[in-house]
Amino acid sequence: MSDIWKPSVTVAAIIERQGKFLLVEEETSDGVRFNQPAGHLDPGESLIAAASREALEETAHEFTPDALIGVYMSRYISSRTKENVTYLRFAFSGQVGAVHDQALDEGIIRALWMSYEELRACEDKHRSPLVMQCVHDYLAGKRSPLSVLYTHPSVTDTDYVG
């Protein structure tokens, strides 16, 4: 077994419309929880592409990131399995687009819009403490341009020879 520590890289879409945030209700190893549309970075994709993909897969809504809200690190220990994982989350704001008639990712019960007050009222059911932190940072106006992120062509171009 390798002694190299590798945090799990994830992305999250912080989508707000008319004072409500797009969330997912999902089955987890700790029971039903609320989260932003979020998931793991897949091989061969940029962080921005991952955020768009995850939002579509989990909510059926198109999402176009326009800013990086922040980069977050958190450790998760499953109460059921005792699994210990460190997550490195890149959270994006952006524009929500068309809604598609498609099945949601496995484990997603539904997508729903929640107000800040509704989110606060169910904090004990959030997938992680990063859910509220990202909303707080979004509401505080924290934004970095997407240009702060760089993806080398070797990541996304299968024909790249460097």
CATH of residue 13's domain is: 3.90.79.10
Residue 58 falls inside a structural domain: yes
Count of domains forming the chain = 1
Average pLDDT over residues 22-27: 98
pLDDT tens-digit readout, 77-129:
877 778 888 999 999 999 999 999 999 999 999 999 999 999 999 999 999 99
Any domain includes 48: yes
Which positions ≥6 away from 43 have C-beta within 8 Å?
none
Q: Which helix (H) or strand (E) holds 116?
A: helix 116-121
Domain extent for 61: 8-147
For residue 154, being part of any structural domain is answered with: no
In a domain, 20, yes or no: yes
Host H or E run for residue 24: strand 20-28
